[in-house]
A and B are shown apart, each in its own frame.
Chain A
Amino acid sequence: DTEVTQTPKHLVMGMTNKKSLKCEQHMGHRAMYWYKQKAKKPPELMFVYSYEKLSINESVPSRFSPECPNSSLLNLHLHALQPEDSALYLCASSRTWTSGSTDTQYFGPGTRLTVL
């Protein structure tokens, strides 16, 4: 299995809702990432997990809460989002996240999020 999967594909939520995005990989990768991508822009890194521990938080607002329950799963919990948070949320994984690493990052298909 060489794929990263994400659910749901689409999500519409109100500003008071709580929802979660899910990401899964079975490649044995020990690094997992959340990216946010706006239309016609490159992906922006949000969080990095390495060996199920949060390694990087790119100053993301607390209304986004990541969780890594095990080495194959990555969640992103959403609460009190704003309309400007509407975007494509991409999950990615790589073999490792270590100094000097040149491991390839593989992206999931993304969740298209609309905040009303």
Chain B
Amino acid sequence: GENVEQHPSTLSVQEGDSAVIKCTYSDSASNYFPWYKQELGKRPQLIIDIRSNVGEKKDQRIAVTLNKTAKHFSLHITETQPEDSAVYFCAASYGGGGNKLTFGTGTQLKVEL
């Protein structure tokens, strides 16, 4: 089955700095890679996703890049703000079996003032 590794497990940045979270996946057939943000006590919320026919996608301060050859994808957050503090989960979906998501272990991002 699919295996997703996520690094780092914790990340502390100063407000205004950039943050990068990296994930690798094992199954070359995976074709969908969402990123979820989960604030304490809240639901996981989709913040951006990328499909395997695209190499990069951007939405305001958030961008995701996908390298299919190396089987890794990354989340980039620029100009971080305190409200970006949360746990971020990457996931990969193996299209051959419905769209079952395999999640990474999560990154606790803390944006300090």
List A residues at the B interface (Cβ < 8 Å): 31, 40-43, 45, 48, 50, 55-56, 90, 94, 96-110
B45 contacts A105, C-beta separation under 8 Å: no
Instruction: List the B side residues contacting A109 at CB < 8 Å.
Output: 42-43
Query: CB within 8 Å of A: which of B75-111?
Result: 87, 89, 91, 93, 95-101, 103-106
Contact call A103/B44, Cβ cutoff below 8 A: no
Contacts of A48 in B (CB 8 A): 98, 100
**B99 x A107 contact (CB < 8 A):** no
9 A-B residue pairs with Cβ-Cβ distance under 8 Å, sorted by A, are A41-B106, A42-B103, A45-B100, A45-B101, A56-B98, A98-B98, A101-B98, A102-B31, A102-B93
CB neighbours of B32 from chain A (8 A) = 102
Interface centre among B36, B103, B104, B106 (most CB of A within 10 A): B103
Measured between alpha carbons, how far is A106 from B43 in the docked complex, in Å? 9
Give the most central of A42, A48, A94, A99: most B CB within 10 Å: A42
Q: B20 in the interface, Cβ–Cβ < 8 Å?
A: no
- Interface size on B (CB < 8 Å)? 26
Which chain B residues numbered 3 to 58 have a C-beta less than 8 Å away from chain A? 31-32, 34, 36, 42-46, 49, 51
Contacts of B34 in A (CB 8 A): 104-105
CB proximity of A66 to chain B, nearest CB, Å: 16
B32: nearest chain-A partner, CB-CB: A102
User: Are B106 and A99 closer than 8 Å at their CB atoms?
Assistant: no
When chains A and B are docked, how far (Å) is the Cα of A107 from the Cα of B37? 11
